[in-house]
Amino acid sequence: MSLKTILVEDSETIRENLIPTLAEMANAHVIAVAATASEAVDALDRHAQAWDLAVVDLFLKEGTGLTVLRAARDRLAHQHMLVLTNYPTAEIRRRCLDLGADGVFDKSTELEAFFDRCCSYSA
């Protein structure tokens, strides 16, 4: 069964590359895409019990991924949130984990670990 995924990413180029790669490598089906924090919160609410994975960038067209993490703190046990960012400083990692992220990954250097984690949710 595929991972119903909400992708929160404002870069069209990254979305275009990430969606098919998630499908191929992690059996993930993207059911919603958001470029702003408010669009992401709306998508999480609209698909409240349907989503399994949310992939969240931190710096969005409007707002931040921290707002998205905060909005999903009371998610269901089977729902996972992973942060995929270009700025995974120690402080950012701590803040994301404190807000309920299941993991924080660097877009440049930790894609293999990111996809491994995604696969662990579909196993």
Which domains does the chain show, CATH number per domain?
3-122 (3.40.50.2300)
The pLDDT of residue 123 is above 90: no
Average pLDDT over residues 111-120: 97
CA–CA separation, 123 vs 2, rounded Å? 10
State yes or no: pLDDT of 86 exceeds 80: yes
pLDDT exceeds 80 at position 23: yes
As a whole number of Å, the CA-based R_g of the chain is 13
pTM of the model: 0.96
Cα–Cα distance between 95 and 13 in angstroms, integer?
Answer: 27
Mapping DSSP to helix (H, G, I), strand (E, B) and coil, where does residue 107 land?
A: coil
Average pLDDT over residues 69-81: 96
> Is 12's pLDDT higher than 80?
yes
Cβ atoms of residues 28 and 17 within 8 Å: no
Q: Say if CB 120 and CB 80 are below 8 A apart.
A: no
Closest to 51 in 3D by CA, of 82, 25, 21: 82
**Which amino acid, one-letter code, is at 34?**
A
Helix (H) / strand (E) element for 44: namely helix 37-46
Work out the pLDDT band at 1, boundaries 50, 70, 90.
confident
